[in-house]
Amino acid sequence: MNDLKIVLFICNWGPHAAFQMLQDSCRHMPHQVRMIRIPCSGRMSRALLFKAFETGADGVALVGCEPGSCRYGSGTGIAERNVQDTRGILELLGLGKDRLRLATFLPEQSEALLEFLQQFHADVERMGKSPVIPVPKTQPGESGRDLAARILTSHDIYACQDCGKCSSACPMSLCGKPFSPRAMAGSIIGGNIGSASVVSDVWSCLTCGICYDRCPSAVDFPRFIRDMRQVHRRAGTAGQEAHEGFFQALMRTMTSPDLDIRHWDWLPEDIQVDGQSKTLFFGGCAPYFDTFFGRTLGVKTCDILIDSLRLLNFFDIFPALLPGERCCGHDLLWTGDRDSFIRLARLNVDAIEERGIEEVVTSCPECYRTLAIDYPEHGIPISFKVTHIFDLAEKEIDKGAIGFEKLNRTLTFQDPCRLARLGGPGELPRKLISRLKPRGFEEMRDRGNSALCCGNCAWTGCDSYTKALQVKRLRQARETGSNLLVTACPKCQIHLRCAMEDPFLGDEIRMEMMDLTSIVARTIRWE
């Protein structure tokens, strides 16, 4: 029965010599261990390490050179950090961090290497097979051309009057990228689906929705792009995934039904939840984001979840949580992996309905839109109501007897696209902000319907142009003279924080950020 798959990534330099020694002397190694020779342990990114698990590995050992003996100097240190982050992710997924190990050996330590491999094999054997079922490659099925034709008609792209309003408003075009939604639509209508420029354009769009907002014929570019990505994914021309596709791989992994996900293990004890409640709080992927970006960007998006729950508790709402909550699937849907999206949606809806939940509350704009709009739109009806926490908070505060403590900051607000333009309660954030007691509130030049994107959507197409867009946005924020940039989406925080790391601009665009839910929760008071 022993069909375990153990991958050994071994550095070409020190430890590979030790490994060869074992081979040369015909030492018995567990046959489940498959060796892959790599140039340096530091080159094994988190995405590469994780992809081994996505594709069915039961255990992964990364073996590098002893600290100080790295041929490139910093390899071992980088490997340590990458392994640590990836172990955090494995732990959240319930796979267990011990399925990934890092070890270092000198060329002459072949005995120690053998011992390590035997021990690791025994450990993995004890943990058993991984519950991850690799997602099969999508079958081509319908031809790309037919599918594209269907997508063109269903989104009525032919209604385009060639007026150019979309291209003149598109933030990608405006920050200098040779990119035009109108031209792209024209090419696709002309049957030019697979050309390099169309592929690149389809993967560059931010699906931010400004063009849709402006278009006199209501050509729905975001949905059109979303579906075109399906065509390209099937044709194998998916691309430009940020972080080497780490997040898409993570989300695809979550489609395995037998995972024992541990989404909420880290929750502080003072938060009151009630497993019997008919109201469920759906958190979203913040724990994964913090594990992945915590060290590099210092973002704490889990605070948004904690503050959301504290706010619910303040209103005497003690919600249920799904211990095995999965990603809502937003990013898979918007990067063309409809099949995996549907698998995730099913798993989530089944888990929610099994508990007899009547209302799902969420503070993530993407989860909100995905659950409320995209699940039903993709043939997964929901029997519960989906409420954005802003909506709930506004109703509770409006009942009266609630006020806010003074906040000695001047605020400005970054609209998340999924609230401002694509299906969310667009006006609510400002209503809530008007209830707060900050020193001031200054709007950015582009706001509300016209707000600029934080620079990325669904972890695809991050490049120097999107960076330019982010810098432009942060300059707008700084121009307001405000000293606190209020966000309402965990990803806005991540992408904007990332842009602030620019070593050349640095202080010029740096700004403190805080989620609106956190500000509300931290200043709300009974009167």
- Contact (Cβ atoms closer than 8 angstroms) between residue 343 and residue 397: no
Cβ-based nearer residue to ligand SF4, 207 or 412: 207
Mask 315-354, x = binds other proteins (CB under 8 A)?
Answer: -x--------------------------------------
Q: How far apart are CB 470 and ligand SF4 at their closest, in Å?
A: 7
Q: How far is the CB of 206 from ligand SF4 (least distance, A)?
A: 4
Closest contact distance (angstroms) between CB of 8 and ligand SF4 is: 29
- In angstroms, rounded to a whole number, what is the distance separating the alpha carbons of residues 116 and 99? 14
Between residues 143 and 161, which has the closer beta carbon with respect to ligand SF4?
A: 161
Choose which of 10, 199, 317, 524 interacts with other proteins (CB under 8 A).
524
Instruction: Let me know: does 442 contact 411? Beta carbons within 8 Å.
Output: yes
310 near other proteins, judged by CB under 8 A: yes
- Residue closer to ligand SF4 by CB (options 122, 218) is 218
- Applying CB under 8 A, among 133, 373, 402, 511 the residue interacting with other proteins is 402
What are the DSSP calls for 244-297, one per residue? GGHHHHHHHHTT-TT----TTTT--TT----TT-SEEEE--SHHHHHHHHHHHH
Contact 112, 120 (CB under 8 A): no
Residue from the set 58, 85, 307, 374 that interacts with other proteins by CB under 8 A: 307
- Give the Cα separation of 219 and 155 in Å (integer): 7
Distance (Å, whole) CA 363 – CA 342: 22
Give the shortest CB-298-to-ligand SF4 separation in angstroms.
Answer: 12
CB of 308 or CB of 370, closer to other proteins: 308
User: Looking at 166, 311, 422, 492, which residue binds other proteins (CB under 8 A)?
Assistant: 311
Shortest Cβ 276–other proteins spacing (Å): 22
Q: Please state the closest distance from residue 314 (CB atom) to other proteins, in A.
A: 5
What gap in Å lies between CA 118 and CA 123, rounded to an integer?
Answer: 9
- Using CB distances below 5 to 8 A depending on partner kind, what does residue 231 bind out of other proteins, ligand SF4, none? none
DSSP three-state, residue 526: strand
Task: Write each residue from 349 to 388 as x if it is in contact with other proteins (CB under 8 A), else as -, in one continuous string.
Answer: ----------------------------------------
What tokens does 452 get?
């600029």
- Residues 236-275 binding other proteins (CB under 8 A) are 270
Task: Determine the Cα–Cα distance for residues 325 and 209; give it in Å rounded to an integer.
Answer: 28
Is residue 504 at the binding interface for other proteins, with CB under 8 A as the rule? no
DSSP strand pairing (406-413 vs 484-487): parallel
Q: Are strands 6-11 and 100-104 parallel, antiparallel or unpaired?
A: unpaired
What are the residue ranges of helices labelled H in 55-191? 75-92, 110-127, 144-154, 165-169, 171-174, 181-189
* Segment interacting with other proteins (CB under 8 A) among 40-48, 130-138, 306-314, 439-447: 306-314
For tokens 């937003």, name the residue: 330
**Least distance in angstroms from the C-beta of 366 to other proteins:** 25
Taking the complex as a whole, the smallest distance from the CB of residue 403 to ligand SF4 amounts, in Å, to 37
Stretch that binds other proteins, among 225-233, 308-316, 321-329, 373-381 (CB under 8 A): 308-316
Q: How far apart are CA 345 and CA 196, in angstroms?
A: 32
If 0-12 CB within 10 Å is exposed, 13-18 middle and 19+ buried, where does residue 298 land? exposed
Least Cβ distance, residue 433 to other proteins (angstroms): 18
CA distance 440 to 424: 25
Q: How far apart are CA 487 and CA 382, in angstroms?
A: 28
Residue 209: name the closest of 432, 442, 428, 424 by CA: 424
Residue among 193 and 242 whose Cβ is closer to ligand SF4 = 242
Q: How far apart are the C-alpha atoms of 449 and 443, rounded to whole Å?
A: 13
In 3D space, the residue among 327, 165, 172, 168 whose CA is nearest the CA of residue 255 turns out to be 327
Residue 451's binding partner among ligand SF4, other proteins, none (Cβ under 5 to 8 angstroms by kind) is none
Among 115, 258, 265, 405, binds other proteins (CB under 8 A): 405
User: Token pair 């929610």 is at which residue?
Assistant: 352
**Contact set with ligand SF4 (CB under 6 A):** 160-166, 170-172, 181-182, 185, 205-211, 214-217, 219, 221-222, 242-243, 455-456, 459, 462, 494-495, 498
Q: Does 394 bind other proteins (CB under 8 A)?
A: no
By beta-carbon proximity to ligand SF4, the closer residue of 172 and 347 is 172
Establish if 55 lies at the interface with other proteins (CB under 8 A).
no
Q: How far is the CB of 402 from other proteins (least distance, A)?
A: 7
Cβ-proximal residues to 196 (8 Å cutoff; 6+ apart), any chain: none
Q: Which is nearer to other proteins, 482 or 517 (CB)?
A: 517
Measured from the CB atom, the residue of 54 and 307 that comes closer to other proteins is 307
Note the residues at the interface with other proteins (CB under 8 A).
270, 307, 310-311, 313-314, 316, 399-402, 405, 521-527
